[in-house]
């Protein structure tokens, strides 16, 4: 390939408006790891490690991993009930801005019709172009499509032992070609294949967003930075030719300013002036399907969505389908609850921007990498803010004991960005989304006080719309 552009050139790429406007996405982790339905999507690695529950489970239910390797799950990963139209319908009902799938996980099994690896879903397992069919169904419903890439770390993913199929040259296309070397650093061909597989998806399916897991941030890839720049440069350049607005998401593995940052299973603690993402699973235990899933309740999902949006962050929720391609019933119920809530409160989250302060209240939100913030308990004094043109939105998490929402953040420059004066701006109108009941309010130098109608119990968070048009 030609010499790729430098990072200083690539960082000039602007995050598209559709991604800045997005508040919610949905994607799936689906692969042969759904067949054992145990541990997590890391079962393919852990089943070879004697100190893990996955190893014990594998030995008990399938046999010694030296005899029954991960590749033997592929036949049962049949996807007989895989219906991309139904998946896309559910995403559209949810109001998803972007919908995606793990194009290829650490396990090395590709979900598209690949000319570069025989270990793909079009030739094995479902024997269908899973990624391609889903991409078409998603775009038919005017949603954006995302492809997620995890295969950069495949070289280090599988434990190596001469007794395992992971070192057998006959299975190198899946497990990696480790039979001829004990070096922890992959040969140049490994990086070439990583690049070529990624570009194959880009060129064939033209995703609107390409999401990259941590693997391309390790030392081996950093020392071969050209491959990363080739992928990013190719994507941005090709997208200009395709006349579509695209971006890449990564986990702080590239220089500042390149792509959009992703905070896996976490969130930012403060407001950002640049858009960002959180990808998180609705199952606390796993990204892929497991039988003992620990699904989050709708309130947890909705509170996270509100908190992130108020800080200029979008949320991409993950679901793990069963081996036959169906969405677990309990997971689908979670999505349905979120969809119903968004049907009422969506105007405060879709296409909005943050205020100059994201919210107010006594509850501190702290979150590190992989630290799910689901344990946070917001109070009735916690509020989150968003804005859109002449509308300001206040989200409340619980009903105050006296039914009066007290917003102490002054509706001046910190809210609208328009006025520098210190005098509060009284809203021209106040409306509780989803309610026809009249809302009364008063505003003085200390706070805006909004009295909730008696019938509003705030079983789930609710949204108050303020008309904050500039006043003479």
pLDDT, tens digit, 9 for 90 and up, residues 171-210: 999 999 876 667 788 999 999 999 999 999 999 999 999 9
Euclidean distance between CA atoms 360 and 353, whole angstroms: 17
* DSSP conformational letter for 311: T
| Residue 105 resides in a domain | yes
> For residue 470, what pLDDT is reported?
64
Among 77-91, 109-123, 348-362, 373-387, the minimum mean pLDDT is found in 373-387
Pair 365, 376: CB distance under 8 Å = yes
- Is residue 342 included in any domain, yes or no? yes
The pLDDT of residue 20: 97
- For residues 89 and 233, state if they share a domain: yes
Name the band, by pLDDT with cuts 50, 70 and 90, for residue 367.
Answer: confident
Closest CA to 377 of 389, 363, 358, 359: 363
Contact partners, residue 195, CB within 8 Å, separation at least 6: 227, 230, 231
**pLDDT for 423:** 57
pTM of the model: 0.95
- φ/ψ (deg, to 5) at 133: -65, -40
What six digits make up the tokens of 306? 């509100």
Domain count, the chain: 2
- Same-domain check for residues 236 and 299: yes
* Residue keyed to tokens 């389908």: 321
- As given in the structure block, the two tokens for residue 113 are 């019709």
Contact in structure between 156 and 147 (CB atoms under 8 Å)? no
CATH number of the domain encompassing residue 389: 2.60.40.1180
Is residue 107 predicted with pLDDT exceeding 50?
Answer: yes
Q: Is residue 443 part of a domain?
A: yes
pLDDT digits (tens, 9 = 90+) for 300-344: 999 999 999 999 999 999 999 999 999 999 999 999 999 999 999
Looking at the domain assignment, is residue 215 inside a domain?
yes
Based on the domain organization, do 338 and 438 belong to the same domain? no
pLDDT for 101 equals: 98
Inter-residue contact 446 to 373 (CB < 8 Å): no
Same domain for 338 and 415: no
pLDDT band at residue 455 using 50, 70 and 90 as cut-offs: confident
Which residues lie closer than 8 Å to 221 by C-beta, 6 or more apart?
A: 152, 191, 215, 227, 228
Residue 333 shares a structural domain with residue 457: no
Name the nearest CA neighbour of 456 among 405, 412, 407, 406.
405
| pLDDT tens column, 386-416 | 999 889 999 999 999 999 999 988 765 555 5
- In the chain, % of residues over pLDDT 90: 85
**Nearby residues of 123 by Cβ (< 8 Å), 6 or more positions away:** none
For residues 326 and 262, membership in a common domain is answered with yes
Mean pLDDT of 348-371: 85
Query: What value does the mean pLDDT take over residues 212-223?
Result: 97
Q: Are residues 414 and 292 in the same domain?
A: no
Mean local confidence (pLDDT), 283-291: 96
Residue 426 CA: distances (Å) to CA of 146, 242, 360, 379, 413 = 42, 47, 18, 25, 13
Q: Is residue 72 part of a domain?
A: yes
Condensed to tens digits (0 to 9), the pLDDT of residues 16-71 reads 999 999 999 999 999 999 999 999 999 999 999 999 999 999 999 999 999 999 99
User: How do 404-407 and 391-396 pair as beta strands?
Assistant: unpaired
In this structure, is residue 79 part of a structural domain? Answer: yes
Give the residue carrying structure tokens 């190596």. 160
Instruction: Write the Ramachandran bin of 260: left for phi over 0, alpha for psi from -120 to 50, otherwise beta.
Output: beta
The reported pLDDT for the residue numbered 414 is 52
Check if the beta carbon of residue 132 is closer than 8 Å to that of residue 205.
yes
Of 331, 348, 365, which closes a domain?
Answer: 348
Q: Across the strands, what pairs with 317?
A: 26, 280
**163 inside domain:** yes
> Which CATH number do you get for residue 295?
3.20.20.80
Domain identity same for 311 and 454: no
DSSP calls for 233-294:
HHHHHHHHHHT---EEEESS-S-TTSSEEB-TT---SS--SS-EEEEEESBSS-SS--TT--
Q: What is the C-alpha separation between 297 and 293, in angstroms, rounded?
A: 12
Would 362 be classed as within a structural domain? no
Mean pLDDT of 354-377: 78
Lowest mean pLDDT among 50-59, 226-235, 389-398, 420-429: 420-429
The residue from 305, 332, 348 where one domain ends is 348
Instruction: Give me the DSSP letters along 100-152.
Output: EEEEE-TT--BSS--SS-S-BTTTSTT-S-HHHHHHHHHHHTT-EEEEEE-GG
314, 415: one domain: no
Strands (E), 297-380: 313-319, 359-360
Pull the structure tokens for residue 245: 């607005």
* 63 and 118 both lie in a single domain: yes
Query: What does the block give as tokens for 111?
Result: 């979900």
Rounded-to-integer distance, Cα 342 and Cα 95, Å:
8
Pairing of strands 24-28, 313-319: parallel
Cα 20 to Cα 289: distance, rounded to the nearest angstrom: 30
Q: What is the pLDDT of residue 472?
A: 39
Same domain, 420 and 282: no
Q: How far is CA 103 from CA 122, 156, 245, 376, 452, in A?
A: 12, 19, 20, 33, 47
Three-state DSSP class for 404?
strand
Give the contacts of 357 (CB within 8 A, at least 6 positions apart): 271, 385, 409, 414, 415
Task: Grade residue 417 by pLDDT with cuts at 50, 70 and 90.
Answer: low
Shared domain for 116 and 45, answered yes or no, is yes
> Domain containing 268: what range?
7-348
């Amino acid at each position: 390939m030609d010499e790729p552009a430098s990072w200083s050139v690539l960082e000039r790429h602007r995050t598209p408006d559709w991604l800045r406007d997005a508040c919610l996405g949905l994607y799936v982790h689906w692969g042969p790891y759904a067949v054992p339905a145990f541990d997590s999507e890391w079962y393919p690695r852990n089943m070879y490690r004697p100190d893990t529950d996955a190893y014990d489970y594998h030995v008990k239910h399938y046999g010694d991993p030296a005899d029954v390797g991960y590749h033997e799950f592929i036949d049962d990963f049949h996807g007989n009930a895989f219906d991309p139209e139904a998946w896309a319908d559910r995403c559209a009902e949810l109001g998803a801005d972007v919908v995606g799938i793990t194009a290829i996980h650490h396990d090395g099994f590709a979900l598209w019709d690949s000319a570069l690896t025989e270990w793909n879903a079009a030739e094995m397992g479902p024997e269908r172009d899973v990624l391609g069919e889903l991409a078409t169904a998603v775009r038919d419903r005017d949603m954006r499509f995302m492809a997620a890439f995890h295969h950069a770390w495949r070289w280090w993913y599988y434990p190596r032992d001469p007794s395992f199929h992971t070192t057998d040259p006959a299975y190198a296309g899946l497990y990696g070609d480790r039979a001829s070397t004990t070096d922890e650093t992959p040969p140049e061909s490994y990086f070439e294949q990583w690049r070529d597989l990624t570009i194959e998806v880009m060129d064939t399916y033209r995703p609107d967003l390409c999401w990259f897991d941590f693997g391309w941030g390790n030392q081996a890839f950093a020392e071969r930075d050209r491959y990363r720049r080739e992928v990013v440069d190719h994507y941005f350049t090709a997208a200009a030719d395709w006349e579509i607005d695209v971006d890449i998401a990564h986990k702080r593995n590239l220089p500042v300013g390149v792509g959009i940052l992703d905070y896996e299973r976490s969130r930012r603690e403060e407001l950002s002036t640049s858009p960002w993402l959180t990808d998180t699973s609705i199952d606390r235990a796993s990204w892929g399907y497991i039988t003992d899933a620990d699904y989050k309740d709708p309130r947890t999902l909705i509170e996270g969505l509100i908190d992130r949006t108020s800080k200029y962050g979008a949320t991409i929720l993950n679901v793990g389908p069963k081996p036959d391609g169906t969405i677990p019933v309990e997971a689908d119920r979670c999505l349905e609850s979120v969809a119903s809530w968004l049907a009422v409160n969506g105007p405060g989250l879709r296409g909005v921007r943050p205020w100059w302060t994201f919210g107010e209240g006594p509850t501190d939100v702290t979150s590190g990498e992989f630290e799910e913030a689901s344990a946070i308990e917001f109070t009735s004094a916690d509020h989150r803010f968003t804005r859109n043109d002449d509308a300001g939105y206040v989200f409340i998490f619980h009903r105050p004991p006296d039914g009066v929402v007290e917003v102490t953040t002054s509706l001046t420059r910190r809210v609208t960005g328009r006025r520098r004066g210190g005098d509060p701006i009284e809203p021209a109108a106040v409306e509780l989304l989803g309610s026809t009941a009249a809302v009364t309010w008063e505003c003085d130098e200390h706070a805006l006080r909004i009295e909730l109608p008696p019938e509003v119990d705030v079983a789930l968070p609710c949204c108050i719309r303020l008309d904050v048009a500039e006043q003479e």
